[in-house]
């Protein structure tokens, strides 16, 4: 039996769970403030949801999907992203019938058969939002604001927010014509992947990291310069609102993203501290035609997703810590003598009944080592139980972060103990 998880997957435990909880809890609070409601979709869908949603010419659909037949031969695919599934659910459950915009968020694992590297996995976690049923550029700015503020609240300082417009169906087609004729004389010099992209999805050539392709693109016409007056007006409004919200951004006129569904506004938040091939912590855009293309009503929409695993990698790299919340206050009872087991159990019962996270470390030999172990295991407080404590009933509760200590009589002043953990 192979005792390792499949390539590109990982077990998440220990401190990574604390980072992950911090990212998820911070985002959940913001989703609530921005009035998004949660949706959970199945981990696999009928393959055509992604083929049609993401686009058959995209790298994801061509090369990266985990597709398999079920026992009745139906083709299923593990979700490589969240948007297509959410759109399917909106149409299936007629979620468009309620108040618009429909604002949904999700926190889900995704699967892409990619070459695993630091920050790039085959199974990874995303948190994302979709705001459906509104074309007003103000919502574009609001969605970008939400993406930006998540990273601000997590403690990031030097991220770059990139924005661009990929135009609408009409002006993009015009642009693609101009782009193809620019590339055409150099097609034979493109890499094998880009030769296919040239036919199926030429804009993806901008994403190629191979030197030869990048050199060919140097003088290429930029989509931003080709968008029609309506798309230009929409984009100008988006940037006007971003200015109003005091959000720093850079217009990157050659930014493209790997999904066919995007129209007009696209954006990414990147870090110079990550390898350029996977420097995006999050990204998204407008997809005005996807819901009607799936047979739903005309519902212009926009959303983004953040890579949770990649965000953890960067937080660790930049020494950005997760902050402890009230719920993280917890006590390790350090029992110095075997004979005090019952006393410790009584104390444990008291703490746990009042909802205070607590644990006992029995037969501690060395207080210094026990304190180190408490810190390593994320306990915020310790209570040492020795002969004196049992006799006097007075507990010393030590705060391991603030290095403060309070002495409280366990039997006579239980409220005082609880107050420490209700601060
Ligand atoms: P995406 O750019 O493919 O967009 O993914 C969003 C984020 O997920 C990336 O910026 C990255 O942080 C993370 N990510 C993507 N692939 C991997 C991987 N293999 N390993 C680790 N992290 C990864 C979407 O998925 C769109 N559905 C976003 C969207 C929502 N657009 C509109 N609505």
198 CB under 6 A from ligand 1? no
Residues 6+ apart with CB under 8 A from 418: 354, 356
Residue to mutate (ligand 1; options 53, 283, 312; most atoms within 8 A of CB): 283
Minimal CA–CA distance to 143: which of 171, 123, 163, 115?
163
Question: Side by side, which strands form the sheet with 280-286?
Answer: 37-38, 102-111, 123-132, 301-307, 280-286, 265-270, 160-165, 250-251
For the chain, the first-to-last Cα distance in angstroms comes to 50
pLDDT of residue 325: 61
C-alpha 257 – ligand 1 centre gap (Å) = 10
53 CB under 6 A from ligand 1? no
pLDDT of residue 281: 98
d(C-alpha 52, C-alpha 61), whole Å: 9
Its pTM stands at 0.88
284 CB under 6 A from ligand 1? yes
User: Tell me, what DSSP letter sits at residue 258?
Assistant: S
Tokens (6 digits) for 123? 């199974």
126 φ, ψ to 5°?
-125, 150
d(C-alpha 163, C-alpha 270), whole Å: 11
Question: Collapsing DSSP states into helix, strand and coil, what is residue 44?
Answer: strand
Q: Are 327 and 315 in contact (CB under 8 A)?
A: no
Tokens (6 digits) for 124? 């990874």
Peptide bond into 249 cis (omega under 30): no
d(C-alpha 355, C-alpha 327), whole Å: 10
Q: What is the mean pLDDT of each run of 10 residues along the chain (423 residues)?
A: 92 94 96 97 98 89 95 98 98 94 98 95 98 97 97 95 95 91 92 89 83 88 90 97 97 90 97 87 98 96 98 95 73 92 93 91 83 89 93 93 90 89 69
Q: Residue 347 CA to chain centroid, in angstroms?
A: 40
286 CB under 6 A from ligand 1? no
pLDDT of residue 278: 83
pLDDT of residue 81: 98
Q: Residue 176 CA to chain centroid, in angstroms?
A: 31
d(C-alpha 104, C-alpha 114), whole Å: 28
126 CB under 6 A from ligand 1? yes
Closest-CA residue, ligand 1 atom 9, reads: 282
Closest-CA residue, ligand 1 atom 13, reads: 307
Residues 6+ apart with CB under 8 A from 203: 166, 176, 179, 223, 256
310 CB under 6 A from ligand 1? yes
- Concatenating the DSSP letter of every residue in 95-144 gives GGGSSSSEEEEEEEEEE-----BTTB-SEEEEEEEEEES---HHHHHHHH
pLDDT of residue 324: 61
283 φ, ψ to 5°?
-165, 165
C-alpha 422 – ligand 1 centre gap (Å) = 38
pLDDT of residue 423: 57
79 CB under 6 A from ligand 1? no
- Which is it for the CA torsion 86, 89, 93, 97, positive or negative? positive
User: Tell me, what DSSP letter sits at residue 117?
Assistant: B
> 341-353 and 414-421 are packed helices; what angle lies between their axes, rounded to 10 degrees?
60
Q: Residue 62 CA to chain centroid, in angstroms?
A: 24
127 CB under 6 A from ligand 1? no
81 CB under 6 A from ligand 1? yes
Tokens (6 digits) for 275? 């390898």
Helix H or strand E segment including 281: strand 280-286
C-alpha 11 – ligand 1 centre gap (Å) = 20
Tokens (6 digits) for 369? 């080592």
pLDDT of residue 377: 85
Residue to mutate (ligand 1; options 45, 257, 305; most atoms within 8 A of CB): 305
Tokens (6 digits) for 235? 């984009």
d(C-alpha 296, C-alpha 115), whole Å: 35
Residue to mutate (ligand 1; options 269, 307, 308, 313; most atoms within 8 A of CB): 307
User: Tell me, what DSSP letter sits at residue 96?
Assistant: G
pLDDT of residue 56: 84
C-alpha 79 – ligand 1 centre gap (Å) = 12
C-alpha 237 – ligand 1 centre gap (Å) = 26
Work out which ligand 1 atom sits closest to the CA atom of 257: 2
Residues 6+ apart with CB under 8 A from 412: 393
Residues 6+ apart with CB under 8 A from 287: 83, 259, 261, 262, 263, 301, 302, 303
- Concatenating the DSSP letter of every residue in 175-241 gives HHHHHHHHHGGGGGGS-HHHHHHHHH-GGGGGG---HHHHHHHTTPPPHHHH--HHHHHHHHHHHHH
């Amino acid at each position: 039996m192979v005792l390792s998880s499949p390539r590109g997957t990982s077990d998440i435990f220990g401190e990574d769970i604390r980072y992950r909880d911090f990212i998820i809890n911070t985002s959940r609070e913001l989703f609530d403030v921005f009035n998004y409601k949660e949706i959970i979709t199945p981990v696999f869908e009928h393959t055509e949801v992604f083929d049609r949603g993401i686009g058959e010419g995209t790298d994801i659909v061509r090369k990266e999907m985990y597709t398999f037949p079920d026992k009745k031969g139906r083709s299923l695919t593990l979700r490589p992203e969240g948007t297509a599934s959410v759109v399917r659910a909106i149409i299936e459950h007629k979620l468009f019938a309620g108040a618009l915009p429909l604002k949904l968020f999700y926190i889900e694992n995704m699967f892409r058969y990619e070459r695993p590297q630091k920050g790039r996995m085959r199974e990874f976690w995303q948190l994302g939002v979709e705001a459906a049923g509104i074309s007003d550029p103000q919502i574009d700015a609001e969605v970008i604001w939400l993406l930006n503020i998540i990273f601000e609240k997590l403690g990031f300082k030097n991220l770059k927010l990139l924005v661009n417009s990929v135009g609408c169906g009409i002006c993009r087609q015009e642009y693609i014509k101009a782009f193809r004729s620019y590339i055409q004389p150099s097609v034979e010099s493109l890499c094998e992947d880009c030769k296919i992209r040239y036919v199926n999805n030429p804009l993806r050539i901008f994403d190629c990291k191979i030197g030869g392709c990048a050199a060919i693109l140097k003088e290429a016409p930029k989509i931003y310069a080709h968008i029609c007056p309506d798309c230009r007006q929409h984009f100008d409004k988006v940037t006007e609102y971003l200015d109003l919200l005091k959000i720093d951004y850079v217009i990157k006129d050659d930014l493209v993203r790997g999904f066919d569904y995007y129209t007009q506004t696209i954006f990414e938040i990147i870090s110079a501290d990550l390898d350029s091939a996977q420097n995006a912590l999050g990204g998204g855009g407008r997809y005005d035609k996807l819901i009607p293309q799936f047979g739903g009503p005309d519902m212009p929409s926009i959303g983004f997703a953040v890579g949770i695993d990649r965000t953890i990698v960067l937080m660790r790299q930049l020494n950005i810590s997760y902050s402890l919340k009230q719920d993280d206050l917890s006590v390790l009872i350090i029992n110095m003598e075997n004979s005090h087991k019952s006393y410790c159990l009584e104390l444990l019962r008291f703490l746990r009944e009042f909802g205070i996270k607590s644990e006992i470390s029995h037969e501690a030999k060395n207080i210094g080592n026990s304190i180190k172990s408490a810190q390593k295991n994320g306990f915020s407080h310790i209570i040492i139980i020795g002969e004196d404590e049992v006799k006097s009933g007075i507990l010393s509760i030590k705060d391991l972060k603030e290095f403060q200590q309070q002495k409280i009589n366990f039997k006579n002043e239980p409220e005082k103990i609880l107050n420490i953990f209700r601060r």
